[in-house]
Structure 1
């Protein structure tokens, strides 16, 4: 049960010491809480305005469950689903129809929809790259019921087509959202790879587990994200590098900056390494993937406009954060 400081207050509050969650919904200010803790307090408060039996779904549930997320706008709304005849429409909340017979799952006391339904809700809004990141995170966490997913993918419900594409192309092995971007980059470049591939030396000793092993080569392509800068991860990377060098393997690391902002140069270098001709059509295909995603301003604006319409916000043209 939430303690007194987490009990939401309905109505109008003009006194100091309170913060606004939504129109007519307030919480007591609490010092020294991080953004995640405050966000979870907000979710408890939102339950006050949601119909009984509602559950969190979409990107809200994905975040609660710890799945990988794309580059979300700052003003991403709360996503919920309800089986009630009427669904609330207000700024900051997107409420859809709940489709399930079983009771919702709970994450820290907060109700969440089934994983398959969460992914389907995401598929209605997200681009191919953004959706692939969320699907990969759900699979990596082991949260998806294969039977439920098969049932949804066999249906004709909105969002099934992009979800099927993301599901069939995902590996369920990526260690981060950035690594998923690296996978999709290679998909667009038409480079065959094996994710999280274990490599052994002639003595049968494991020398490396590569994010991506480029099939038919001795090349390893890996995502160099923030986790690699921690001391613990760095020491592990150094030990791996020694094993890679001893096994005559060639490792190359990529950052999001390489993939998103310097893609043309990165593609040229990869093509040169693989001894194949460069094709501009692959670069243009990657440009389209990125421009449609929330890694671009246009992609964020597109999805925010969609969410504004679903919330009933008149000013759907406001800029994405």
Structure 2
């Protein structure tokens, strides 16, 4: 039995075929059939060649390593890292490096150094909108990566980003099972619809008949996120059987997609209001649209962040000067 050698990682002026340039003077061997996440890990190992020894990954790079749910991300993300006060800080296209006065000991994730979770979330809070932050914090809480005690230490400080982080933490829950479910919950909050996440459902005899993404409090109306998995034939059959069972117990299920919430929120609001037999309040819709516009779920939101990161990296977009 032969053991497959790890892909080669080289620094220098490489002119060999079969190697991919990750940054100036940093290359890795091209491996056919490598999974996207394994390629991501390999690229980060190459970036370690240009980072000082005590550096750690943070921000959205660390979120990906930790397996957190994230909002819709721009196509080309920089790599985010932190270095100590006395360490050199590399400035390269594709790399955003921050200094920390007293760096906390990093933890190893997939063999790569990652900043402590509370610090990762604080850095994210300086860049991302409320909707994006809640999606990420929900995932971190569900995976058990952050505790209220650890978060309290950060929230009691006066560091930049604390105000945004506190608002997102207070709006988060450990019960959310997907990013889409979190988006739906925040939509309901903007619509002033009180919901209970991952609620157990009972029939008249008190027997548990299922569990719902979101139960509208005081009703038998269910709001659930229908992601791509629900379009598979096998899952569709399971969903239909489940829906019939819920209907027999008196529950009314409403399924929503990300397209409903982001691109057709007015129609979705009208459907929710009709179910609740109440009038439409346009201020609710405006609040939701403002939340989306200030997030990575909107094209302008993604463009603003990319432009900010490019400025921090020293990359100039000359296309707008033509």
CA distance in 1, matches of 2:166, 2:318: 29
CA distance in 1, matches of 2:5, 2:52: 22
Give structure 1 stretches of 5+ with no counterpart: none
CA distance in 2, matches of 1:196, 1:317: 47
**2:11 corresponding residue in structure 1:** 10
CA distance in 2, matches of 1:254, 1:100: 45
User: Does structure 2 conserve the Cα–Cα contact (< 8 Å) formed by 1:116 and 1:145?
Assistant: no
Q: Which of 285, 288, 300 is the matching residue for 1:286?
A: 288
**1:33 corresponding residue in structure 2:** 34
CA distance in 2, matches of 1:316, 1:279: 43
Q: TM-score, normalised by structure 2?
A: 0.93
Alpha carbons of structure 1 residues 25 and 315: separation in structure 2 relative to 1, 3 Å: same
**1:260 corresponding residue in structure 2:** 262
Farther off after superposition, 77-86 or 21-30: 77-86
**2:48 corresponding residue in structure 1:** 47
CA distance in 2, matches of 1:9, 1:93: 18
**2:239 corresponding residue in structure 1:** 237
Farther off after superposition, 178-187 or 99-108: 99-108
Alpha carbons of structure 1 residues 251 and 279: separation in structure 2 relative to 1, 3 Å: same
Aligned pairs (5 A) from 1:19-30: 19-30=20-31
**2:78 corresponding residue in structure 1:** 77
Give structure 2 stretches of 5+ with no counterpart: none
Residue 190 (structure 1) aligned with residue 205 (structure 2) = no
Q: 1:204 deviation in Å?
A: 2.1
Q: Counterpart of 1:71 in 2: which secondary structure? A: coil
CA distance in 1, matches of 2:203, 2:302: 45
CA distance in 2, matches of 1:107, 1:277: 50
User: Does structure 1 conserve the Cα–Cα contact (< 8 Å) formed by 2:26 and 2:46?
Assistant: yes
Q: 1:235 deviation in Å?
A: 5.0
* Residue deviations 1:95-144 (CA, integer Å, cap 9, x gap): 12346665311111111111111111111110111111111111111110
Q: 1:217 deviation in Å?
A: 1.0
Q: TM-score, normalised by structure 1?
A: 0.93
Q: CA RMSD in A?
A: 1.9
Farther off after superposition, 197-206 or 212-221: 197-206
CA distance in 2, matches of 1:291, 1:114: 29
Q: Counterpart of 2:213 in 1: which secondary structure? A: strand
User: Does structure 1 conserve the Cα–Cα contact (< 8 Å) formed by 2:72 and 2:296?
Assistant: yes
CA distance in 2, matches of 1:179, 1:215: 17
Count of residue pairs brought into register by the alignment = 316
